[in-house]
Structure 1
Amino acid sequence: MLTPCPHCQQPLTYSEQRFDCPHCQRHFTALACCPDCQQPLQVLKACGAIDYFCTHGHGLISSRRVHYRPEDVME
C-alpha cells in the first residue's frame, strides 16, 4: 500500500526514516504508529535494538507490525 502525500496526494517514497514526495518536493518525518489503535508508539532503544511500545494498552509491538505515517514537514 502506497502512502499518499498529505499536500498533493501523489505516492510518497520512503527511505531512512523519512518520506519524500517527488512531485511537490516536500519531506516528512516517519512517525511510528500502533497497527491496532493508530496512536504514536514510544520508541525504546537499548544495546543496538529498537523496540516499540504502545502506551494505549497494546504493549510491545513487533517492528514488522509498525505502521509509519508522514508527519511534520522537515525544513
Structure 2
Amino acid sequence: MDVFCPQCHQTLLWQQGNIYHCATCDKGYLQVAPCPECNKPLEKMQACGAVDYFCQHGHGLVSKKRLHFIYVEQE
C-alpha cells in the first residue's frame, strides 16, 4: 500500500518502524493512528506478529478497520 506525502503528494519511503521519508521534500514523517472517537494518539501494541491499537482515554481496543493513519512531520 502506497503512502503519500502530506505536502507534495509524492510516495513516502518507509524507513523503519513508523518512520517515513519524502525524497522530494527531504522531510521525515511519523505515522500516527488517532483514535476515531477522541482523536488522541493510539498506543500500538505488538506481540507474536499481531498488531493491535489501544486508546488510553477510555475507548479500549480499536479495530484496525476503523483506523485512518496520518503523517506528522518530524522535528
TM tier, smaller:
0.5 to 0.7
Unaligned runs of 5+ in 2: none
What corresponds to 1:35 in structure 2?
36
Q: Report the Cα distance in structure 1 between the residues aligned to 2:27 and 2:5, rounded to whole angstroms.
A: 14
Runs of 4+ in 1 over 3 A off after TM superposition: 10-23
What corresponds to 1:66 in structure 2?
67
Q: TM-score, normalised by structure 2?
A: 0.65
User: Relative to 1, partners in 2 of residues 1:45 and 1:71: Cα closer, same or farther, differing over 3 Å?
Assistant: same
User: What is the root-mean-square deviation in Å for CA atoms of aligned residues?
Assistant: 2.5
Is the 8 Å Cα contact of residues 12 and 20 (structure 1) preserved in structure 2? no
Is the 8 Å Cα contact of residues 12 and 19 (structure 1) preserved in structure 2? no
Q: Percent identity?
A: 38
Equivalent residues in 2 for 1:19-58, closer than 5 Å: 19-21=20-22, 23-58=24-59
For the pair 1:11 / 2:12, whether they are aligned, the reply is no
What is the deviation of 1:59? 0.9
Q: How many residues align?
A: 69
Q: Report the Cα distance in structure 2 between the residues aligned to 1:22 and 1:47, rounded to whole angstroms.
A: 33
SS at match of 1:64: helix
Q: Report the Cα distance in structure 2 between the residues aligned to 1:28 and 1:21, rounded to whole angstroms.
A: 8
